[in-house]
Amino acid sequence: MAFFFAQLLTGLANASSLFLVASGLSLIFGVTRIVNFAHGSFYMLGAFIGVTLMEVLPGHFGFWGSILLTGLAVGLIGAIVEIVVLRPIYRAPELFQLVATFGVILVIQDLTLMIWGAEDRLGPRAPGLRGIWRIFGEPVPKYDIVLIAMTPFILFGLWYLITRTRLGVLVRAATQDREMVGALGVNQAWLFTGVFALGSALAGWGGALQLPKGGADLLMDFNIIGTIFVIVVIGGMGSLPGAFIAAVLISVLNVLGVTYLPSSTLVLMFVVMAVVLIIRPYGLLGREEVAGEHGQVGAPETPIRPYGRLGQAVIAGLLVLMALLPLVADQFLLILTIDMIVFALFAASLHFILGTGGLVSFGHAAFFGGGAYAAALLVYHFDTPMEIAFLFAPLAAGLLALGIGWFCIRLTGVYFAMLTLAFSQLVWSLAYQWRAVTRGDDGLISIWPTDWLSGTVPYYYFTLILGVGGILFLRHVIHAPFGYALRAGRDSPRQAEAMGIDVKRIQFAAFALAGVMAGLAGGMFVFSKGSVFPTELEIAASFDALIVVFLGGVKTLAGGVVGAGFMTVVEDWLTRLEYWRLLLGLVIIAVVIIAPEGIVGSIRSAWARYRGTGDEEVAK
């Protein structure tokens, strides 16, 4: 019992730092509607800046003063990021900003590496709090007790700020309807900057406060971001008390999980989140998201039209070029093109559900990797011929999508995204931890294609036919009545329902189809590489696809394909350089700012302006 109690205290101590970081994220999302993936980076910056300051400033004052200063410094950095990167793109399509924040992650990663080096830093002990206290005979670090004692004050301070000050009133008003707040004479731009700076400062404080328990390293940003999102979503996005309850819940469960059920640690919080979202679709204390209520309905969507003569000719020309490629290209270029086609089909399948269906999935890699694993498992364990195993890739991915979709489709917006993320994490942890079947992170190897496809050139044609075929099939579906119904459900679910369209069922079917196509890409992938590892199922893999779709352009059919091509080439070129993350991050941010409709969308708009048939913008 005493041991259990000590565990509980450890959990509560962990919760205080997590709550600080999560409340910052929740605040930022509540007001700006930005899903800020870079929030973990501010946490990491807080840790590094904190360590540096603590080395310089001595004693009690030095320690606590460093923590205070760290928050202010990180807040300032947050304000700069908001002004430089985010302010130009608030009017871009919803969730587009998350791509920019992904660029920010990469930039901060490399800058941190440049400034502090690759070595992990051990956090200094808090002066006067180095030892332990015995509680029921169990040792509990003094610092843990101080953290636990501080948390209620932090919660109270934030609560006071939000409920009792003018700033808090404006923040809550802006959370609901920022346009109206502006029409009442409040400069939203500075309100946004202020909130972003405050949220970043909270992340910085979280990073500095955890130093005596942990330290500072370059993986902190990615390691915490998943947890933080889970906490914010469980609590209900934008709800501070919700974030507090969820932080305590997750921290305590994590500590108990490590002790009593070690194999659960990777998925425990995602399981909790999935359960919470299935029971309460908007988190514990969240409220329903109503599209457009925040004064942020974008310009009306231009209907997707089939390409004209010129466009069709260009695409036909490109296909002929690709068909002739093996005559001139070397091995390397062919393999790069295979990668590109596979990635393009994967991105097109995500684009289908995201752009046409309006459902932003954060876990699409589950189907790509799921398909790859399905085929690989058959080959590895049963020596199934490739021709048959390959068919199981789309099939298994489709079944998986039916299963996951059944839970997810009832949610919308960020909650849908997070539930798909939770399920993809489940699939990933299955591949990672069920070693007997999947061999864990050793991966499944020697998954080669059958004899008649074993050369690079035959496999290139195999990929070309299936990849292009899959993309054209998706294009066809979008222009078929099913696609119209799907788009109707995206643009106006109520009117679509009133016209007799079963929106949820259409979305369910589309989700499954997207899964099938992603699985097909996964099948093509596994036989081209000859192996598959859990990395194909990671969050990062899902985000790669997301970034590609947004960069290419959500509102255009070619978006996913062009984005995939762009990304494959840029990455291939940049990763040869030392600080490639910095450059890639800057490229992403630049594309986001210069081409807010994505590459294809912006080219199309420019073309339309040139022809004088432009869509006129509506100032909001």
Partner 1 sequence: MLSVEAVHSYYGKAHILDGLSFEVRRGEVVALLGRNGAGKSTTMKSVMQLVRPRQGRVMFQGADLVGEPSYRVAKSGIGYVPEDRRIFTDLTVMENLEVGRQPARKGAPDWTIEQLFDIFPNLKERRTNRGKHMSGGEQQMLTIARTLMGNPLLLLLDEPSEGIAPVIVEQMAETIKTLKAEGLTVMISEQNLHFARAVADRAIIIEGGEKKFDGSFAELEAQPEIRDAYLSV
Q: What are the residues binding partner 1 (CB under 8 A)?
A: 166, 169-170, 172-173, 175-177, 179-189, 287, 299-300, 615-616, 618-620
Name the DSSP letter for residue 448.
P
Beta carbon of residue 605, minimum distance to partner 1 (angstroms, whole number): 13
Checking phi first, is residue 358 left (phi over 0); if not, alpha (psi -120 to 50) or beta?
A: left
Query: 141 by DSSP, 3-state: which?
Result: strand
Q: Which is nearer to partner 1, 83 or 278 (CB)?
A: 83
> φ and ψ at 65, to 5 degrees?
-65, -40
Beta carbon of residue 27, minimum distance to partner 1 (angstroms, whole number): 15
Q: Which is nearer to partner 1, 189 or 321 (CB)?
A: 189
Residue listed under structure tokens 């979008």: 478
Residue 53 Cα to chain centre, angstroms: 32
Beta carbon of residue 416, minimum distance to partner 1 (angstroms, whole number): 23
Contact 429, 269 (CB under 8 A): no
Query: 139 by DSSP, 3-state: which?
Result: strand
Beta carbon of residue 173, minimum distance to partner 1 (angstroms, whole number): 5
Amino acid at 238: G
Beta carbon of residue 164, minimum distance to partner 1 (angstroms, whole number): 10
Q: How far apart are CA 618 and CA 616, in angstroms?
A: 7
Beta carbon of residue 615, minimum distance to partner 1 (angstroms, whole number): 7
Q: How far apart are CA 248 and CA 97, in angstroms?
A: 29
Beta carbon of residue 174, minimum distance to partner 1 (angstroms, whole number): 9
* 132-135 vs 215-216, strand pairing mode: unpaired
Q: Which is nearer to partner 1, 90 or 533 (CB)?
A: 90
Q: Which is nearer to partner 1, 239 or 531 (CB)?
A: 239
Largest CA distance in the chain: 81
Residue listed under structure tokens 């399905």: 374
SS (H, E, C) 453-493: HCCHHHHHHHHHHHHHHHHHHHHHHHCCHHHHHHHHHHHCH
Beta carbon of residue 459, minimum distance to partner 1 (angstroms, whole number): 47
Amino acid at 457: V
Residue listed under structure tokens 């690759």: 118
Query: 505 by DSSP, 3-state: which?
Result: helix
Beta carbon of residue 25, minimum distance to partner 1 (angstroms, whole number): 20
Closest CA to 620 of 91, 82, 88: 91
Beta carbon of residue 213, minimum distance to partner 1 (angstroms, whole number): 36
In 10 A of CB 129, how many CB atoms?
18
Q: Which is nearer to partner 1, 115 or 183 (CB)?
A: 183
Q: How far apart are CA 84 and CA 96, in angstroms?
A: 16
Q: Which is nearer to partner 1, 289 or 536 (CB)?
A: 289
Q: How far apart are CA 39 and CA 97, in angstroms?
A: 13
Close Cβ partners of 85 (under 8 Å, ≥ 6 residues apart): 100, 101, 103, 104, 589, 592, 593
Number of residues that make up the chain: 620
Close Cβ partners of 595 (under 8 Å, ≥ 6 residues apart): 553, 601, 602, 603
Beta carbon of residue 619, minimum distance to partner 1 (angstroms, whole number): 3
